[in-house]
Structure 1
């Protein structure tokens, strides 16, 4: 019987027995190595990739951005290898055209060329949304976790909402804007709030409800079309996955693999909860948005909002709660050691935002980050 013929709970009971697949899309900036201004050389850099790596690259909205995509992976060690392959190849291609590939989530200095890439869809987006489409480039990373049923994917997105601010805080990697410290750990998140379809996904009762809401938002003009669902978690439009989009691009492949493993475990835990009929926590929308804003502002350097209790708590306490919650899923996928070791290191040396601020100057921060992008 096709999974789509089953109820979400019945499907979840089948999926909960599986080791879920994972894949990652990462967005990077091309920066001038002297000024650290954005360098509009993506077309030339993509042309410098060998054919196999060119297949793993995607055209992005801005001329200073490169996106690299991993194959579907079964374990985190494989995912980390693929991430490093992508970064090394893209880094070499960037250097071949006089730029540095940098895993930083917001334009740190400035973007002299604000034109979008010359594609009909990108021009349509720019016409529809106006000046916000010409904001300096922003880079995230998207984790795709295999969930072979869109009805179940909607329920998973409901279940993981209270924990996505914690994931977001762990990835904070964009403190600089216009050459200065923005005061936020993730300026990318703050800047993306100008886009009306970004942010936490609404609570949706079913796939039919999802499709109704999207159709209404398209009719309202908030979304240009159904592909403009830019929520922090969504059923993927292209693949049989839940796509988690909340994170800043991470400084290193190792950190990306850790966060991807945590995200996979969170999805797997949600599936198990749906199979068991557990009640889903539904935080008030104002607190959910507040939790994301605070995660972007503070990262893991302060407190985060516990959306189960509506109380502020030390960030790392909530990270520990999340790891405890998803522990059985980490064990089932063989990921516990890699994820726990990675989080221990992250707690010791700080998020990307913390490390950039400690580098001495913005230029020193970008040089160190460019090196780390392709070596760690």
Structure 2
């Protein structure tokens, strides 16, 4: 069974204003990471947890639920809320960086970009046999990144105002020197040569700061998909993990059969990412099989057909169906946040952020 792991980033926020609170040091000291690893992130108001390696979604759900419950309790003891969102509802004029040499070096390189770079994401790692296989998977997965973003947009607010976007985090990311869909690569040598050539250019201090939405891990034999916002609850994270694994498994099976990956022009993928960040599932998405705009749910259905065999092999088909039905009912995290704020103002949004953090059952929401 193909393995996967999940990285979740979280904000700590002040309950009254929902602005970031720079208490990661204190909260981190009291946290039990379980089988994963909890670390600082770029900002002093953020934490990141990398899970252990999983083979099934139920195991991942139980692990994530336990950790989120522990984090919520620990954060509450320190007078703050732990939230899953791509951007905080409001933000200070400039964030406090985590006091580490690497982060200060990055900050000095990107300068004024830091003021708005207050974002959290969800990453999924999928195991691959080697870097050659990883590049084959990247070349196939890249065209579906706009669809994955549309399914996981969860950052509709910035500095206390509605942006009109499902994922304002994706808009903020466009200020980074390297972001969006990676290019297609000839092989692993081509990938390694090109990613290393970026180091030192445009504030890129190392390969870890190459911010493509999909890349190879430098530490593990995995493909890392980084397109999604941090999530309100566990359901979209599990959906993302299942679909990402299925895309990688499908890509490697297609490569064995000699099937070439879909070829979509980079400028079209870039525009499709922007559209997905704005509209989520409400409008149209780029269908990479036709390179035309189609209703978002039709594109999701096309994606499911592409990965049906892989989902069936992993036993994920019924769960993915249920998770998509839940998404249809509840909407993306961005839609839920907007509804909560529209009906209940800051108090309503606060209630949603707090109550959803450990929610994991499909029936929830």
Aligned to 2:285: 304
Aligned to 2:156: 175
Distance 2:218 2:108 in 1: 23
How big is each residue's C-alpha offset from its partner over 1:184-213, in whole Å with a ceiling of 9 and x where there is no partner? Answer: 110000001000111110111111111221
Contact 2:106–2:204 (CA<8 Å) still a contact in 1? no
Distance 2:303 2:180 in 1: 21
After TM superposition, the score normalised by the length of structure 2 is 0.94
Contact 1:53–1:89 (CA<8 Å) still a contact in 2? no
Distance 2:179 2:121 in 1: 13
Distance 1:171 1:93 in 2: 26
Question: Aligned pairs, how many?
Answer: 357
Q: CA deviation at 1:221?
A: 3.9
Distance 2:60 2:116 in 1: 32
Aligned to 1:43: 25
Aligned to 2:3: 21
Distance 2:244 2:320 in 1: 10
Aligned to 1:286: 267
Distance 1:193 1:113 in 2: 18
User: Which secondary structure state, in structure 2, belongs to the residue aligned with residue 328 of structure 1?
Assistant: helix
User: Which secondary structure state, in structure 2, belongs to the residue aligned with residue 132 of structure 1?
Assistant: helix
Q: CA deviation at 1:219?
A: 5.0
Aligned to 1:325: 306
Contact 1:46–1:54 (CA<8 Å) still a contact in 2? no
Q: CA deviation at 1:69?
A: 1.9
Contact 1:64–1:137 (CA<8 Å) still a contact in 2? no
Aligned to 1:159: 140
Distance 2:184 2:322 in 1: 33
Distance 1:342 1:54 in 2: 25
Distance 2:104 2:130 in 1: 33
Aligned to 1:204: 185
Q: Which residue of the other structure, out of 327, 332, 350, is the alignment partner of 1:366?
A: 350
Distance 1:112 1:44 in 2: 23
RMSD between superposed Cα atoms in Å: 1.5
Q: CA deviation at 1:265?
A: 0.6
After TM superposition, the score normalised by the length of structure 1 is 0.92
- Structure 1: 5+ residue stretches without partners: 1-18
How big is each residue's C-alpha offset from its partner over 1:348-375, in whole Å with a ceiling of 9 and x where there is no partner? Answer: 1100011111112244123212210123
Q: CA deviation at 1:136?
A: 4.5
- Counting only pairs closer than 5 Å after superposition, residues 1-376 of structure 1 correspond to structure 2 as 19-50=1-32, 52-53=33-34, 56-111=37-92, 114-221=95-202, 223-359=204-340, 360=343, 361-376=345-360
User: Which secondary structure state, in structure 2, belongs to the residue aligned with residue 25 of structure 1?
Assistant: strand
- Structure 2: 5+ residue stretches without partners: 361-365
